[in-house]
Amino acid sequence: MAEALLLDAALENIPYGFCVWSSQFRLVMWNQHYSDFYGFAEGVLHRGMSLEDVVQLSFSLGNHPGRTSAEFYETYTDELLANRDGAQRKSQEEVRGGRTIQSSHTYSAALGWVVTHEDITDEVARTEVVEKRKLELERQNIRLDAAVNNISQGLCMMDARGRLIICNEPYARIYGLPEHLLRPGTQLEDVLGHLFDMGMSTTGTREEYFIWRQGLISRREYGKTVYELNNRTIMMQHHPMKDGGWVSTHEDITEQKQNEARIQHLARHDALTDLPNRIEFLDQMAKAEAALNRGEIAAVLYIDLDHFKAVNDTLGHAVGDEVIKQASARLWGATRETDVLARLGGDEFALLLRPIDGADSAARVADRIIRSISAPMLIGGQHIEIGASIGIAVGPGDGVKTDTLVKNADLALYKAKSEGRSTYHFFEAGMDADLQQRRTIEAGLRLALQRDELRLVYQPLLGLQQNRVICVEALLRWDHEDRTVSPAEFIPIAEETGLIVPIGEWVLREATKTAAKWPGDVRVAVNLSPMQFKTRDLVGLVKSALADAHLPASRLELEITESLLLADNEATLNVLHELRAMGVRISMDDFGTGYSSLSYLRSFPFDKIKIDRSFMRDLTDRKDSQAIMEAVIGLGRSLGMSTTAEGVETEEQLAMVRAQGATEIQGFLFSPPLPPAALLSLLRAQVRKAPEPDRPAARPPASADAVLGLAR
């Protein structure tokens, strides 16, 4: 009888609606909160009342809007019948006044379905409110499940005299309690003695443990304790009751703690490589500041993987991820136990070397990293080669504060990349000014099209056999803030930022529009960036530009460099073939500057080879340059490709390339780049000087003076 009264008191005092439905859907018991939630008047509910009758009564009071009572009854009974495995299931329903009730039901073979109802309308996201509600929900679950013994947590209830009222099976299982300690009336001291023997307290004596536990009880406050027991993590919560007794729950949270530790680890480590991330690296840097202030020498290395973006774009992200993992393993091999290696994101890494003897130590590590990263990687049957550029800042000379050292290492990295990549560079004073200049150029370049600051100049190419201009190369110029910015300054920045794509489209359209005004069949040559081949429809853009300008495709020549073919990308080759099928000519620019130019001539049938001007400088003085020039011109002739000698500036150079059989020349000896109007005048003069149809053509000029006569 006393236990029944205790259960009734507990049910009426919990701040939730509570009811029990028998296996035949008959009402067994309920509390006042349940009636209040649904608006049931006193006396309308009675034991044995069918669930269907209660649902109809609930609908008559305005609950569950938007549904019929039959629909709700069918859905609700299906949910109950589907839950007979003892698990706790939750659902939500709307009642009168727009309130939302959350129902939680658990099936017990002895009782039926035990259902709790909670009004969650006013629930808020603030942590304090959420925690309070969670605590109340835990207390409600403790009282409810203590009655039905149907929870996964260990639970025991003690009266005000410290005697056991009830405990469940999970509680006994967690602590391995013997049968005699599970009987009602068992004294708290007996249970505590067993728990102490099981390792409940890792410090202190048995008496100290008893005093601590009794102190927690006497304070009559909620308490939570987490402790280790036999390599498991147990959380105990103490809930005082109004009558002086208390309920304690015991939960094995080992997996939860492991998951929390994993989440904490992921928050400070890179998911792909498991290296520290930027947050962890900066924290480690901050910890090193004190040592730097004391004179310890440390170095920060900022590392960027060269050509990684090309690998990622052409071979896919799966291969890119494997490259990152292999690169991180190689970087890890260059570190010591005291160093901190981190992945900052993408293809960027950072390495904190501490302590070191001096800058030479950092240089040796950087050199090892560059050699290690440059070794070929075998991934998916493919040999992939990348490189590493490294910027180094050494503290305390280059700074003590984290922000300063990181910024200076980043500046040094930018310098290393600008010097050709696959190298390292130490921070130097003045680098910040260089970066600011770069940012100024980038900012101005973003507005260059809007401000109409870009213009094209045109450099003629002379056909040696035809003795006339047969092609003109369009060259980009940028007039910005009272000066003309060198293409060597802004083109690399446009490439890095992707601005080359809209700029390249403008160049193509402007060049074709201008070429349409030229007399005869003179072609216009336009340089394409590898970035433009990554756009969705380069072929469509070329077609559109030609159509808008009313220019035949045969008068357009597109120049590409070897870097476009580095990855042997099938999609790129398909685009080139499609352009060539339209009638557009394709030229390889700067031929001979790469390490595998000859192999690229097999991958695509180019129309023209443009021999880089670097071979022209020493042509008259060095036999090897002459041999290379002659070999390349001969190679082009045998492959059916025309050849252009770039950078012809003297008559002696002209005579040599003519003798070797070059098809075209380009250089200041014949003409510098010209504004559109000046070029048009030159081309019109060329037409006027052309031989009449029945008059024999003049012999090709033997000297530059005769060639230059065309331009006068």
Q: List pLDDT tens digits, range 571-618.
A: 788 888 999 999 999 998 877 665 445 666 766 788 998 888 877 877
* pLDDT of 433 above 80: no
What does the pLDDT read at residue 537?
Answer: 86
Q: What are phi and psi of 47, to 5 degrees?
A: -60, 140
Structure tokens at 272: 């792909």
Kindly list the distances between the CA atom of residue 696 and the CA atoms of 239, 259, 387, 491, 642, in Å, as whole numbers in the listed order: 114, 90, 59, 46, 25
d(CA 303, CA 658): 48
What value does the mean pLDDT of the chain take?
A: 84
Query: In 613-696, which residue ranges form alpha helices assigned H by DSSP?
Result: 614-617, 623-638, 651-660, 676-688
Strand partners, 682: none
Strand partners, 474: 458
Closest by alpha carbon to 496, among 408, 575, 418?
418
Q: How confident is the model at residue 143 (pLDDT cuts 50, 70, 90)?
A: low
d(CA 542, CA 564): 18
Does pTM surpass 0.85? no
What does the pLDDT read at residue 303?
Answer: 93
Encode burial over 97-120: b for 16+ CB neighbours within 10 A, e otherwise: eeeebbbbbbbbeebbbbbbbbbe
What does the pLDDT read at residue 707?
Answer: 45
What does the pLDDT read at residue 364?
Answer: 92
What does the pLDDT read at residue 418?
Answer: 75
Structure tokens at 63: 């609950």
Tens of pLDDT, residue by residue over 369-381, are 999 998 988 888 8
Q: What is the mean pLDDT of residues 152-181?
A: 84
Say if residue 396 is preceded by a cis peptide, omega within 30 of 0: yes
d(CA 235, CA 224): 7
Strand partners, 348: 304, 345
Other CB atoms within a 10 A radius of the CB of residue 518 amount to 22
Percentage of residues of the chain with pLDDT beyond 70: 89
Q: Higher pLDDT residue, 87 or 135? A: 87
Q: How confident is the model at residue 691 (pLDDT cuts 50, 70, 90)?
A: low
- Least confident interval from 186-195, 482-491, 505-514, 620-629: 620-629
Closest by alpha carbon to 610, among 558, 684, 569?
558
Which domains are delineated in the chain? 2-122 (3.30.450.20), 154-259 (3.30.450.20), 272-431 (3.30.70.270), 454-689+703-711 (3.20.20.450)
For residue 122, the SS3 value is coil
Q: How confident is the model at residue 203 (pLDDT cuts 50, 70, 90)?
A: low
Maximum C-alpha span of the chain: 132
For residue 592, the SS3 value is coil
Helix (H) or strand (E) holding 32: helix 32-38
What does the pLDDT read at residue 175?
Answer: 82
Q: What are phi and psi of 695, to 5 degrees?
A: -105, 135
Kindly list the distances between the CA atom of residue 597 and the CA atoms of 53, 563, 604, 632, in Å, as whole numbers in the listed order: 88, 10, 12, 11
Structure tokens at 206: 């048995």
Following DSSP, what letter does each residue of 307-328 receive, concatenated? THHHHHHHH-HHHHHHHHHHHH
Tens of pLDDT, residue by residue over 261-306, are 788 888 888 888 889 999 888 998 898 888 888 889 999 999 999 8
What does the pLDDT read at residue 711?
Answer: 42
Angle between helix axes 127-148 and 2-13 (nearest 10 degrees) is 160
- Least confident interval from 198-212, 410-424, 446-460: 198-212
* pLDDT of 700 above 80: no
Q: What is the mean pLDDT of residues 180-208?
A: 80
Tens of pLDDT, residue by residue over 512-556, are 999 999 998 999 999 998 888 877 789 999 999 999 999 999 999
Closest by alpha carbon to 161, among 241, 251, 90, 80?
241
CB 514 within 8 Å of CB 456: yes
Q: What is the mean pLDDT of residues 112-139?
A: 74
User: Across the beta sheet with 112-119, what order do the strands follow?
Assistant: 27-30, 17-21, 112-119, 99-108, 89-95
Closest by alpha carbon to 144, among 255, 34, 265, 294?
34
- HSE, CB side, 13 Å, CA atoms: give it for residue 305: 30
d(CA 22, CA 27): 6
Overall residue count recorded for the chain in this entry = 712
Encode burial over 354-386: b for 16+ CB neighbours within 10 A, e otherwise: bebeeeeebbebbeebbeebeeebebeeeebeb
Tens of pLDDT, residue by residue over 217-272, are 777 778 787 777 767 788 888 888 888 888 888 888 888 877 877 888 888 888 88
Q: Where are the beta strands (DSSP E) in 31-158?
A: 89-95, 99-108, 112-119, 154-158
Closest by alpha carbon to 182, among 598, 28, 190?
190
Percentage of residues of the chain with pLDDT beyond 90: 27
* pLDDT of 701 above 70: no
Taking the CA atoms of the chain, what radius of gyration do you get in angstroms? 41
Q: What is the mean pLDDT of residues 341-368?
A: 91
Closest by alpha carbon to 557, among 642, 441, 662, 467?
642
CB 61 within 8 Å of CB 40: yes
Q: Higher pLDDT residue, 302 or 150? A: 302
Q: What is the mean pLDDT of residues 375-401?
A: 88
What does the pLDDT read at residue 139?
Answer: 75
What does the pLDDT read at residue 697?
Answer: 47
- Least confident interval from 114-118, 119-123, 522-526: 119-123
- Tokens 């050494």: give the residue: 394
Q: Is 692 exposed, middle or buried (0-12, 13-18, 19+ CB in 10 A)?
A: exposed
Tens of pLDDT, residue by residue over 50-72, are 999 999 999 999 998 888 999 99
What does the pLDDT read at residue 556?
Answer: 96
d(CA 342, CA 219): 49
